[in-house]
């Protein structure tokens, strides 16, 4: 299993083990309650998913690059739900 797959598996495990729904996870990590997860909030999620500190910034940037369709450098709830559904599909 490659690094990407391990990271996805850890994120999936965190979301499923700690939260009832992806929306609940999103609301928990949206610390400033602005309706989106910025890079720092994503890094907090990744930290709780046991992703190494070395990789957190890189992975957060890649998540934003891949899922930020609105172009605001953050992931809103709909974008987050898409990311989680794709993650579940790919595992």
Domains of the chain: 3-90 (1.10.238.10)
pLDDT over threshold 80, residue 3: yes
- The reply to whether the predicted model has a pTM over 0.85 is yes
Mean of the per-residue pLDDT values for the chain?
93
pLDDT over threshold 80, residue 15: yes
Contacts of 79 (CB under 8 A, 6+ apart): 67, 68, 69, 70
CA distance 27 to 57: 21
The answer to whether residues 22 and 81 touch, using CB atoms and an 8 Å cutoff, is: yes
pLDDT over threshold 90, residue 62: yes
pLDDT in tens, 26-53: 999 999 999 999 999 999 999 999 999 9
pLDDT over threshold 80, residue 70: yes
The answer to whether residues 30 and 36 touch, using CB atoms and an 8 Å cutoff, is: yes
pLDDT at 1 (0 to 100)? 54
Averaged pLDDT for residues 62-67: 95
């Amino acid at each position: 299993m490659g690094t990407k797959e391990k990271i996805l598996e850890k994120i999936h495990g965190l979301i499923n083990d700690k939260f009832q729904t992806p929306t609940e996870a999103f609301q928990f990590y949206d610390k400033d309650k602005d309706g989106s997860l910025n890079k720092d909030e994503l890094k907090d999620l990744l930290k709780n998913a046991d992703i190494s500190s070395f990789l957190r910034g890189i992975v957060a940037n890649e998540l934003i690059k891949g899922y930020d369709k609105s172009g605001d450098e953050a992931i809103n709830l709909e974008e987050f739900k898409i990311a989680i559904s794709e993650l579940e599909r790919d595992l």
